[in-house]
């Protein structure tokens, strides 16, 4: 179960507080340790030793909300502790605060804080070990300084590494969100294009017929107007269904089932009304196709028939849809009587069909036939095998 962010923050602040109290208690213990031949002891008043111990340890408790002030305070406390012969460890509290500085503060500010910390640490260690209370040689002081630098630099580097990793993860998440948005926009564009293009193509063709025969054959003009009305109503219904999917209000739910293979007969009838003689052959398993693939089949056949109506009517068109356990095969060909030799390589329709095929890991090809007309061929895998479209 994912822990809420606020509870995580409380947990981390409590952990920092416990660490701060532990470091403070340890430093108070250092003030009471007597000196020896290796390490001199603290000889000042007890209250001053407790104050220095608090300055070293307590900033760790507030390193998350105030990282830079916490680091500066801990640095001052550790420097004082070193000069007063209290420190007996490599400045762990300062390393913890520098970790948070690198994690939460931009590099243009955290790098100067690190450089200042390393400089003051070297000065304090050298002065404390060699000048104030000589207990080390210059080479020994250099070794102690290197150990302190390792702790401080290690804390900063660890924080910077975590910051960099989180930034990369945030960039990837933003990229995924942007890509999902683009894909959703493309999906919506394909749906709207297929609905509008198909319906308008039929309407335009029938409107041309009605205008051409209105005076000589009024009954044929009336039939064309009836087809226009039916096509317009169907387009409005499908448009409302598509737009309803985009709404969060449950009252705007889809008004009907998602179109699939069962609706191909209706597409063929509409194309016939627009002057395209459609030969439809559909062979799919009894259980049907998955909803996503069925919708893709429907839209690909719809767009292919729309292109035939727009570019080749009147013409003959053969539509074959075959499916087995491995793949779905879609082939649409027309003889292109009116559009012979005319290539249909542009527009959003072919692009939308290609994108649908690629979405399901299938293949797509379309182009003019050597004997005339146009052909569309799509293969959609069903067995999990994804190929390059």
- Kindly indicate the confidence band of residue 341, based on its pLDDT and cuts at 50, 70 and 90: very low
Closest CA to 231 of 260, 210, 249, 253: 210
User: What's the pLDDT score for residue 7?
Assistant: 65
237 and 349, same domain (yes or no): yes
70 and 154, same domain (yes or no): yes
Closest CA to 287 of 261, 319, 257, 321: 261
Q: 């190929």: which residue's tokens?
A: 387
Q: How many CA atoms lie within 13 A of 292 on its CB side?
A: 11
Average pLDDT estimate for 264-271: 84
121 and 96, same domain (yes or no): yes
* Residue 287 pLDDT exceeds 90: no
226 and 105, same domain (yes or no): no
Q: How far is the C-alpha of 380 from the C-alpha of 260, rounded, in Å?
A: 14
| Assigned domain for 229 exists | yes
Give residue 241's domain range: 183-381
Identify the domain boundary among 143, 175, 207: 175
**Torsion sign over Cα 65, 69, 71, 76:** negative
Render pLDDT for 49-81 as a digit per residue (tens, 0 to 9): 999 999 999 999 999 999 999 999 999 999 999
| Beta carbons of 73 and 134 less than 8 angstroms apart | no
pTM of the model: 0.57
115 and 238, same domain (yes or no): no
Instruction: Name the token pair of 13.
Output: 């602040």
How far, CA to CA in Å, does 386 sit from each of 92, 187, 354, 361, 389? 54, 20, 14, 4, 9
Render pLDDT for 161-197 as a digit per residue (tens, 0 to 9): 999 999 999 999 889 888 888 877 777 777 676 666 6
- Number of structural domains, the chain? 2
158 and 122, same domain (yes or no): yes
Strands 315-323 and 276-283: parallel
| Assigned domain for 387 exists | no
CATH code for the domain of 252: 3.30.565.10
294 and 329, same domain (yes or no): yes
| Assigned domain for 113 exists | yes
Identify the domain boundary among 126, 152, 175: 175
205 and 350, same domain (yes or no): yes
| Assigned domain for 386 exists | no
16 and 69, same domain (yes or no): yes
325 and 187, same domain (yes or no): yes
18 and 141, same domain (yes or no): yes
Q: 């985009």: which residue's tokens?
A: 246
Identify the domain boundary among 175, 210, 245: 175
Q: How far is the C-alpha of 141 from the C-alpha of 125, rounded, in Å?
A: 7
């Amino acid at each position: 179960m994912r822990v809420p962010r606020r509870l995580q923050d409380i947990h981390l602040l409590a952990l920092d507080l416990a660490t701060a109290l532990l470091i403070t208690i340890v430093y108070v213990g250092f003030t009471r340790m007597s000196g020896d031949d290796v390490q001199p002891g603290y000889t000042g008043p007890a209250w001053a030793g407790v104050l220095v111990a608090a300055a070293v340890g307590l900033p760790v408790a507030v390193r998350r909300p105030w990282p830079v002030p916490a680091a500066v305070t801990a640095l001052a406390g550790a420097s004082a502790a070193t000069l007063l012969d209290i420190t007996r460890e490599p400045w762990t509290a300062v390393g913890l605060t520098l970790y948070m500085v690198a994690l939460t503060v931009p590099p243009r500010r955290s790098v100067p804080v690190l450089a200042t910390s390393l400089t003051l640490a070297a000065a304090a260690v050298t002065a404390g070990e060699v000048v104030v209370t000589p207990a080390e040689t210059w080479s020994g002081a250099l070794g102690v300084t290197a150990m302190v630098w390792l702790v401080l630099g290690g804390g900063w580097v660890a924080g910077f590494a975590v910051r960099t990793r989180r930034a990369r993860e945030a960039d990837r998440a933003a990229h995924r969100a942007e890509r999902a948005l683009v894909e959703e926009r493309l999906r919506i564009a394909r749906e709207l294009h297929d609905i509008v293009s198909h319906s308008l193509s039929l309407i335009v063709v029938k409107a041309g017929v009605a205008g051409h025969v209105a005076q000589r054959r009024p009954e044929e003009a009336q039939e064309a107007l009836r087809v226009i009305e039916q096509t317009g109503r169907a387009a409005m219904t499908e448009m409302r269904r598509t737009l309803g999917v985009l709404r969060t209000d449950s009252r705007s739910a889809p008004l009907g089932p998602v179109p699939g293979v069962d609706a191909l007969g209706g597409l063929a009838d509409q194309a016939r009304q627009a002057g395209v003689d459609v030969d439809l052959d559909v062979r799919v398993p009894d259980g049907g196709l998955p909803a996503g693939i069925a919708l893709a089949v429907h839209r690909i056949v719809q767009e292919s028939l729309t292109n035939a109506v727009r570019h080749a009517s009147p013409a003959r068109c053969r539509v074959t849809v075959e499916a087995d356990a491995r793949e779905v095969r879609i082939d649409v060909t027309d003889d292109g009587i009116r559009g012979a030799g005319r290539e249909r390589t542009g527009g959003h329709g072919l692009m939308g069909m290609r994108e649908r095929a690629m979405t399901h890991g299938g293949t797509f090809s379309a182009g003019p036939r050597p004997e005339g007309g146009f052909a569309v061929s799509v293969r959609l895998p069903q067995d999990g095998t994804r190929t390059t479209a």
